[in-house]
Structure 1
Amino acid sequence: MRMINKRHHLWPGVPLALGSAVLFGASAPLSKLLMGSIDPWLLAGILYLGAGFGLAILSSGRRLIGLPNVEAPLQGTDTPWLFLVVLFGGVLGPLLLMLGLARTSASSGSLLLNLEGLATMGIAWLVFRENVDRRLLLGAAAILAGAVLLSWNGGKLQLDVGGLLIAAACLSWGIDNNLTRKLSSADPVQIAMIKGLVAGATNLVLAILFGASLPSPALVLAGAFVGFLGVGVSLVMFMLGLRHLGTARTGAYFSLAPFIGAALAVPVLGESITIQLIGAGTLMGIGLWLHLAERHDHDHLHDALEHEHSHVHDEHHQHVHDGPFNEPHSHWHRHEPLRHKHAHYPDLHHRHSHK
């Protein structure tokens, strides 16, 4: 039985990447509300644990009510990649950030944090050879310029030991984002849950060892809820975005998060609308438009490929099933060689080279 499901090339990758940025950006002003009562390093642990436990509850609830899991499970061959993702993104990144913030000014720290987006896109384009053209470079530059403008407060950028540690944290997260692409065909809830639990427990223990004290249960629950949405659900959406867009484009969309956080800080924290915020929003809007207007369309060849992931029967999945089936579904399947032309991103099925 064959069915062909054709979708617009922007769907669902772009909404997923933007949704991830919205949730993560929204967590910034909400976390700032909690920082007056919770040690920052301890809060990082609570946020990640909230993400891990929240996704674990969500996954268990899904099984209890009988909802099928349409995602491919992690395989033994995924273990090294999962270990590296947790190490770089969940342990080293937050640890280097906290050590760096303790040794440099807040203005330099906020500016240097914009290096994560640059590191993510640079590694994707230069190391993993994702396709890039002039429009994408200009869009990424506009988004990055908006993020820098947003965090600039007139202070000088200090490349002291603290600044170098923050830059190293951004490099760790850039590596994490690119390595996560290796796992993008597997269940994103399972991956984010493991990352949240391991990273959260590590940060929590380290924070307590360095003198932090646990806040009230109400504050812990509030931080855990923010972490569930701003870290857990956001990470799931980010990984799904990777599946459909590739790392560079997902990273570019995710770089909008600082503007979203700053915009939400106006009603949440009572901050004022500034020329700086308007200028940053304009630059990021231009960058977003340049990315949305991209149309990468050329004749390309798909080599034979066997793998497992959640899919529907679109033009790349025209294999036969015995009997009826539901969509989406996940199973091991084979792609026969195929040559065709259509608009596409460097997703799971379009990681070919370009001359």
Structure 2
Amino acid sequence: MASSRGDRRVRMRAAVLVLVAGALFGASNPLAKLLLDEDFPAVAMAGTFYLASGVELLVLRWILRAARRRSEPGLGRTDFKWLAGAILAGGIAAPVAQLYGLKVAPAHIASLIVSVEVVFTILIAVLLFGERPTAREYGAMGVVVLGALAVGFGTRGSGGGGEAVAGALLIVLACLLWGFDNNFSERISAKDPIQIAGVKGLVAGGANLVLAAAFFTLPRLDPALLAFASIVGLLSYGTSIALFVYGLRHLGPSRTASLFATAPVWGVVLSWTALGEKPGPFALAGGVILLGGIWALLALSSGRR
């Protein structure tokens, strides 16, 4: 009985930390939009976000281990194939697709569309790893997709026309890639989440900065912008990833992804308050439908591991 109560407390703490991870990641779209408006190249921004988060998290891990405050098991040789997949899909390709999409799509649209990540995560878990959602969970996923389609139609009224629609599709692609990332990360979630997020950030960030230097002419950036991007990277990517991996360990991919899918709420609120974006009727209606589907998924998955 005591063990059962202890397990419940651990799961509750994991759920709260995943909600925090969602809030941190949800803030990334409007904050990144501010940087893109300052002509910060998308590939270089993705590299800066992840490299900053990787360096800072690995330094934090070293400090904690030196102080003997952490005894999490580190990554082993058999973990690196899953980590490599997570880095390629979720650390290198996905943020580039996200930021190029965000360049032409409004931040509140991008924030809402990111909700389809939970659908891709669950479907990939079904196809590759044998998870078995219930009929009601499939129905809730259908509601999420319907809401995302309505939000997609809303991009036509956002002032961006065809470019905004293309941006929305790039964000959907990023969600698909993050779906693979989530499932690969779940395979190694028993290991130190700070190390996983740190290595992922260091490798993915370095790779994107090399790509940016090789294929783009990079402008001279204000040190204040670089510092701001580093802080966004540490919080919205590094810390968020570490908390997400911790959630995967205790909650499994479906429930963790459902909790994380609350991220759009924070992105939309920041887009409206900080950027002054005004959603059209399709975006509003689609957002309500989409968030309703997420709520249903969260309720239905509450008993799943």
TM exceeds 0.5? yes
Distance 1:294 1:250, change over 3 A: same
CA distance in 2, matches of 1:101, 1:154: 12
Aligned-pair distance for 1:70?
3.6
Indicate yes or no: 2:289 matched with 1:283: yes
CA distance in 1, matches of 2:36, 2:27: 15
Number of the residue aligned with 2:200 = 195
How many percent of aligned residue pairs carry the same amino acid? 35
Q: Which entry has the higher C-alpha Rg, 1 or 2?
A: 1
Indicate yes or no: 2:240 matched with 1:242: no
More strand by share: 1
Indicate yes or no: 2:8 matched with 1:8: yes
Listed as ranges, the matches of 1:177-192 within 5 Å are 177-192=182-197
Unmatched tracts of structure 1, length 5 or more: 297-343, 347-355
Number of the residue aligned with 1:51 = 53
Number of the residue aligned with 2:89 = 88
More helix by share: 2
Match of 1:208 among 202, 206, 213: 213
Match of 2:43 among 38, 41, 44: 41
Number of the residue aligned with 2:128 = 127
Listed as ranges, the matches of 1:245-284 within 5 Å are 245-272=251-278, 275-276=281-282, 278-284=284-290
Q: What TM-score results when the alignment is normalised by the length of structure 1?
A: 0.70
Number of the residue aligned with 1:136 = 137
Contact 2:197-2:242 within 8 A present in 1 as well = yes
CA distance in 2, matches of 1:105, 1:272: 15
Q: Which letter maps to 1:69? A: R
Number of the residue aligned with 1:349 = none
CA distance in 1, matches of 2:105, 2:250: 35
Aligned-residue CA RMSD in angstroms?
3.5
Listed as ranges, the matches of 1:205-354 within 5 Å are 205-209=210-214, 210-272=216-278, 275-276=281-282, 278-294=284-300, 344-346=303-305
Q: What TM-score results when the alignment is normalised by the length of structure 2?
A: 0.80
Question: How many residue pairs align between the two structures?
Answer: 293
CA distance in 1, matches of 2:168, 2:155: 17
Contact 1:47-1:228 within 8 A present in 2 as well = yes
- Whose relative contact order is higher, 1 or 2, with alpha carbons under 8 Å and at least 6 apart? 2
Distance 1:114 1:287, change over 3 A: closer
Aligned-pair distance for 1:8?
3.1
Map Cα deviations across residues 176-199 of structure 1 (whole Å, 9 max, x no partner): 211111111000100110110111
Map Cα deviations across residues 244-264 of structure 1 (whole Å, 9 max, x no partner): 222223223333323421122
CA distance in 2, matches of 1:154, 1:106: 7
Q: Secondary structure at the match of 2:3?
A: coil
CA distance in 2, matches of 1:165, 1:242: 26
Unmatched tracts of structure 2, length 5 or more: none
Distance 1:164 1:275, change over 3 A: closer
Q: Which letter maps to 1:345? A: R
Q: Which letter maps to 1:74? A: L
CA distance in 2, matches of 1:235, 1:171: 17
Map Cα deviations across residues 96-140 of structure 1 (whole Å, 9 max, x no partner): 567x759x9748x95986654432221112321213113322333
Map Cα deviations across residues 276-304 of structure 1 (whole Å, 9 max, x no partner): 565345334433442443377xxxxxxxx
Distance 1:208 1:13, change over 3 A: same
Q: Secondary structure at the match of 1:73?
A: coil
Distance 1:130 1:277, change over 3 A: same
Aligned-pair distance for 1:161?
10
CA distance in 2, matches of 1:295, 1:36: 39
Q: Which letter maps to 1:48? A: Y
Q: Which letter maps to 1:213? A: P
Distance 1:178 1:262, change over 3 A: same
